[in-house]
Amino acid sequence: MARTFASRRVDRALSIDELRHMARRRLPEVVFEYLDGGAEDEVTLRRNRAVFDDVAFLPAALNDVATVDATTSLFGRPMAFPFAVAPTGFNGLMRRDGDLALARAAAAADIPLAQSTVSNARIETVAAVPGLRHWMQLYIFRDQAFMEALLERAERAGCEALILTVDSNVFGNREWDKRNYATPSRPRLSRRFEALRHPGWVRDVLLPGIPGFGNLDEILPPDRRDLSGAAHWSRTQIDPSLSWRHLDWLRTRWRGPLVVKGLLSPSDAVRARDAGADGIVLSNHGGRQLDGAVAPLQILAETRQALGAGTVLMIDGGIRRGSDIAKAVALGADAVLSGRAPLYGLAAGGEAGVARALALLAEQFLRVMALLGRRSVADLSPDCLRDVADLGPLRSVETPCGAQSIRDRPR
């Protein structure tokens, strides 16, 4: 349950939920709902969180945990703990230069950051952040020449890994969009007036001018270069014919690690591996695409068994505490990704807020490892958990939302 923490100082936040509360107070409703909302009745959004509560820890006693090491490695490179910042778009809506704030905080925390195709900053700008492990997320657009140019830019910028998102070639039914916008590119008048009640956001984001999409500049029509117009136009340009042939093409085109994000079937994960994918991200797009979909944690152990060792396996969705990371790793994940947790920090306090979010997750993860009696990430295994083979029925999360406001429903 979200806390009603009154302070605006991100350094005093003790949980991601408290950062979320700070973000909600600072952001206009239309922006907070973009950050926080899910598709349709938000069944998937709630399930992503509920499944973590349905997994219990089984600690081992009398193990020496005077020294606990959370470090791990992905694609042959070390990282501070098994966490990466997930690709998210429109981060300039949360804070001015939001992509760079995320990147600098990730570099300082010694973890990777995945940049979205629809980020506000350009590939080259984010990749140039000192010390950053830069990953690039890719949507497949209809324009083949643009795709080739985007890949060339990522290569020249020194991008470490490419992440192909495969669950968004058809846009989800995000009803909060329909509630908030008079047209696909214009917020309702009531929402625009409500935004004026958030002077800090207005000064930081609105008055200097809401940023555009740096990576799309070369293909955007002249009349679609504002944020709303570009966002609507880009949705129409994502290729709905996305198929396995695109993965085959990328594998021949991209020489570095290639990750497929958005799979929810163990058999699809195996097929992606056999097609040359170096990594898999089990994901339902944070509950923003197919409502009623399975949560990644539910099929994690089965997918790890199907893949065996050697393929990097990650999940996202619902990560709010270090204990969530520990459960995912114990069930077979090499790491987790999270978009909302760092973004709550970004919205609440800029780069300092992101740094606080990452520090909280790392500290909590270390503490959980110690309380479980595990001294290294490799020690986290299914025997740390109860009823791993059968997570049991979910609590009732299928209740229709009715007339209740999206902002008042539990996340």
State the binding site. 34, 87-89, 116, 137, 139, 165, 174, 261, 283, 285, 288, 316-320, 339-340
Strands 335-338 and 83-85: parallel
Q: Specify the 3-state DSSP secondary structure of 163.
A: strand
Q: Are 377 and 69 in contact (CB under 8 A)?
A: yes
Could you identify the residue written with the tokens 């309702």? Answer: 188
The values of phi and psi at residue 383, to 5°, are -75, 0
Catalytic residue among 21, 134, 198, 285: 285
| Contact of 292 with 397, CB cutoff 8 Å | no
Closest CA to 142 of 249, 245, 241, 250: 241
Q: Residue positions in the annotated binding site for FMN?
A: 87-89, 116, 137, 165, 261, 283, 316-320, 339-340
- Which amino acid would we find at residue 106? A
Q: For residue 55, which amino acid is it?
A: V
Residue 160 backbone dihedrals phi, psi, to 5 degrees: -75, -45
Residues in a beta bridge with 181: 187
Q: Is 132 left (phi over 0), alpha (psi -120 to 50) or beta?
A: beta
> Binding site residues for glyoxylate, as ranges?
34, 139, 174, 285, 288
Residue type, position 270, single letter: V
285 is catalytic: yes
CA 238 vs CA 231, 241, 382: distances in Å: 11, 9, 39
Active site residues: 285
